[in-house]
Structure 1
Amino acid sequence: MGSCFSARIKAESPLHTGATSRKISTDGRDLSCRLSSASVPRSPRSESEILESSNLKSFSLNDLRTATRNFRPDSVLGEGGFGCVFKGWIDEHSFKAAKPGTGLVIAVKRLHQESLQGHKEWLTEINYLGLLHHPNLVKLIGYCLEDEHRLLVYEFMTRGSLENHLFRRSLYFQPLSWNLRMKVALDAAKGLAYLHSPEAKVIYRDFKPSNILLDSNYNAKLSDFGLAKDGPTDGKSYVSTRVMGTYGYAAPEYMATGHLTTKSDIYSLGVVLLEMLSGRRVIDKNRPPGEHNLIEWAKPYLASKRRIFQVMDVRIEGQYSLSEALRAATLAVKCLAIEPKSRPNVDEVVKALEQLRGSDSGSAKNGANRKHHHKTRANEASRRETASHPQSSASPMVA
């Protein structure tokens, strides 16, 4: 069933010159620089206040043990820095443990007991997902806090993460079509738009393919809110904070200064959109020299009608028109602008993706030259496939 973990990208140097000289932790989340806190828009709440106001189910450890068959190894959906995620079953009315294959399927994220930062992220997840509800945010059902044990219980997302479908080569994770990629991009952008709205006023801070989960109908939902931050929603204000996130997706100005805005999330969205167009990871040391950094390699091709196909994923050949490819690439480039003010806001991104989704995709009629060009690229790609995209250490996410 749906996997809920995926590889964390690790990189040793910043995307852009002069971005930062800070140390990067081995799990890729903490870019290790403490800066002064400039603003905290919401009043801090105690742990008991967060738990009491969350409207979430409080599970006993015994219930979750039974639901996951005592956290059996064959129930593991994945493992990462936070801990393991297990597949389980509960009765959809009583929320009591149910027999495997019956009732409601759940994903149970279990915090490593030795995790130093995990409790804070565990509580942050409850703080946000206990209050925020949207069709494009994963549903948090409940939690368990018992002695030193901390667990989170989520809806199960049948098709796993976008990362698996883009980068994992297996019979189970089939490459997404062009139309499905645009649908997923639009769904994820709508989830981000809700977070940036006056209603929520949240900066996500960890927008990446492993945190975009797909249900059985390929509806996409954002997950893993352990790094989310309250923040202003205008592009001029910022929150100075401890710099955290996943390398390759973090905006250059955030890495350099700790200035966090909604435009930081837009940069991450641009990275993901480029990964969706190309089928490549943003950082991949197994690529040939000059192609390790997707953004640096792809940018010269993205605005060219003749060269754009060198960037596009060969697995979706013939599924889109030249116009659609150029429009999607132009949107990605705008999101990746070095100057945050030059990036679109999330509502503009949603509108652009809606227009792309609504356009005619009769691109299979694109001429012999393009077909030959794609075939050549496909042959080159297949020779590299074995060495590309190895699985590095997994990072925690929900299913």
Structure 2
Amino acid sequence: MGCLSCNAESAVATCDSYNWELLTKKPVKNHGTRPVKILEFDFSVLHSATNGFSARNLLGKGSHGAVYKAKIHRIKAVAAVKRTKQTQSCGDSTADAELEILSRIYHPRLVNLLGYAIDPNQRKLIVVEYMPNGSLYDLLHRSAKPPGWVKRTRFALQVARAVQFLHASNPPIIHRDIKSSNILIDANFSSRLSDFGLSLRGHVGDVKVKCTPPAGTLGYLDPEYLAPGDLSTKSDVFSFGILMLEIITGRNAIDVNFSPPSVVEWAVPAIKQGDFIGICDLRIRPPGDWEALRRMAVLAARCVRSTAAKRPGMTEVVECLKIVHQKMKARAGICINLGSRVGEDCRAIKYEPLDESFEMARNSRTGSRRNGKVSSVSSSQFRRGDQRGKSKSIGTASEIKFLPPDETEDHIISRSVGLRLNKSRSVGFLRARNDRPAHRRTLKSNLLVDLEE
């Protein structure tokens, strides 16, 4: 069983990684019908649309060529033109591979093909959909306001659906270069999988697949993919697992400024120990649903197992991320609706450092705008992990402090938080719930995770 056994505090989605695909297999929606015909453009049209491939129209440049923004009057749309280099001795280019694959498929979570052209040097140019909001890499690592957890889980789910579609194609398509810089953001702020220059279409036993040497990006490359015969859809699963760790932590796949530099070597041991808080991106507000974070983190750890056979398939990944995103979205909705009244993950919360050396409970003090009086209300019964305070009107529930339990016991230390009420006219309860302690120590005995290689 490739499953997780946890106590209530560390509950994570449990599933049989070997039988999941057979037990829960559902027909994948057929998005393969192409809404527009692939067009062949004259080179002069693309030359004019990109202002002569000017630097002003340059969107990006990589090892395989450059991408330019193009206003094409023929299709009355803005597109992206990829001008690739000849990279292989046999005369094929990444453009040939991309055209071969993208001309056969269509999916709303892919950057789809619109057309192509041939320049005077007989080099192919690819015309694809224009993505105006940059890449996921830019959002995670270069943006002054990195996306929050709802957007991050939505991006992960959307990319997972794209990869699931590729793997479910007949014959399967293996992307081989899943990474954050190849995830582009469209006008609706949804993620799309791009760059099929390294992709292979065919079954593992096909001659082309067996004869194509390994390729990919350092940090995302499957450690089991050492020879052409080692390639499988699970190689994409590994790369996607790295992407999920990148989304959770905000760290690059490889970052020499950290030790260890590999996000896998740093994050996976922490996940095995149950330190889900320690791997979160510190630049953004903590996740609203810690169970959802645990699900996603453990899923990522399973995807990057060194043994390919132990990794989940993309169908299981999609189903798990659906739950994760729904939980994050639901929790965010609660905060939006109740943020001005109650809720520890909302903007109304004020976190303050607490001295844990003694146990005490202070009365909450409330005041009334109506009569100008200030009264003291005795707080209700308190117990560890379930702290309550009463408020009759506008006021503040003060800190609740508890003596830490004996260090020899398996425990989670709960701190209270200061909560500010706005316009509360009825008696209410302020709770610091068990599922989100401000300070936490989870011992290994509290979490049994089957993440062994």
TM-score, with structure 2 as normaliser: 0.62
For 2:260, the aligned partner's letter is E
CA gap of 1:265–1:118, structure 2 versus 1, over 3 A, is: farther
Q: 2:19 corresponds to which residue?
A: none
CA gap of 1:108–1:370, structure 2 versus 1, over 3 A, is: farther
1:331 aligns with one of 279, 295, 299: 299
Tell whether the 8 Å contact from 2:287 to 2:293 is kept in structure 1 after alignment.
no
CA gap of 1:114–1:295, structure 2 versus 1, over 3 A, is: closer
C-alpha separation in 2, matches of 1:247 and 1:258: 19
Matches within 5 A, 1:30-49: none
Partner deviation per Cα, 1:260-319 (whole Å, 9 max, x = no partner): 0011110111000000000000101122xx2311110111211444x3222110123233
Q: 1:75 corresponds to which residue?
A: 57
Q: 2:94 corresponds to which residue?
A: 121
Deviation at 1:116, TM superposition (A): 6.0
Tell whether the 8 Å contact from 1:241 to 1:260 is kept in structure 2 after alignment.
no
Matches within 5 A, 1:114-193: 119-148=92-121, 149-170=123-144, 174-193=145-164
CA gap of 1:233–1:117, structure 2 versus 1, over 3 A, is: closer
Q: 2:399 corresponds to which residue?
A: none
Say yes or no: does 1:58 pair with 2:27. no
CA gap of 1:120–1:316, structure 2 versus 1, over 3 A, is: same
C-alpha separation in 2, matches of 1:143 and 1:123: 10
Name which of structure 1's ranges 210-219 and 110-119 shifts more when overlaid on structure 2: 110-119
Partner deviation per Cα, 1:362-385 (whole Å, 9 max, x = no partner): 586258459999999xxxxxxxxx
1:314 aligns with one of 282, 285, 294: 282
For 2:325, the aligned partner's letter is R
CA gap of 1:110–1:268, structure 2 versus 1, over 3 A, is: same
If each structure's helix is expressed as a fraction of its own residues, which one has the higher value? 1
Matches within 5 A, 1:1-399: 56-91=38-73, 94-95=74-75, 103-112=76-85, 119-148=92-121, 149-170=123-144, 174-232=145-203, 239=210, 241-255=212-226, 258-287=229-258, 290-305=259-274, 307-359=275-327, 360-362=330-332, 365=344, 368=351
C-alpha separation in 2, matches of 1:114 and 1:204: 18
Q: Secondary structure at the match of 2:59?
A: strand
Partner deviation per Cα, 1:22-76 (whole Å, 9 max, x = no partner): xxxxxxxxxxxxxxxxxxxxxxxxxxxxxxxx95211111101110111121111
Tell whether the 8 Å contact from 2:40 to 2:116 is kept in structure 1 after alignment.
yes
C-alpha separation in 1, matches of 2:244 and 2:182: 14
Deviation at 1:256, TM superposition (A): 6.2
Tell whether the 8 Å contact from 2:210 to 2:228 is kept in structure 1 after alignment.
no
Higher relative contact order (CA 8 A, sep 6+): 1
Deviation at 1:341, TM superposition (A): 1.1
Partner deviation per Cα, 1:134-187 (whole Å, 9 max, x = no partner): 1111111111113314311111111111111111245xxx41111111111111
Deviation at 1:211, TM superposition (A): 1.0
C-alpha separation in 2, matches of 1:257 and 1:78: 30
C-alpha separation in 2, matches of 1:127 and 1:194: 17
For 2:127, the aligned partner's letter is V
CA gap of 1:55–1:123, structure 2 versus 1, over 3 A, is: farther
C-alpha separation in 1, matches of 2:191 and 2:155: 5
Partner deviation per Cα, 1:311-333 (whole Å, 9 max, x = no partner): 11012323332211111101001
Tell whether the 8 Å contact from 1:205 to 1:245 is kept in structure 2 after alignment.
yes
C-alpha separation in 2, matches of 1:147 and 1:302: 54
| Cα RMSD, aligned residues only | 2.9
Deviation at 1:361, TM superposition (A): 2.3
Tell whether the 8 Å contact from 2:253 to 2:262 is kept in structure 1 after alignment.
yes
- Structure 2 stretches of 5 or more lacking a match? 1-35, 336-342, 352-414, 419-435, 440-453
Q: 2:339 corresponds to which residue?
A: none
C-alpha separation in 2, matches of 1:105 and 1:335: 37
TM-score, with structure 1 as normaliser: 0.70
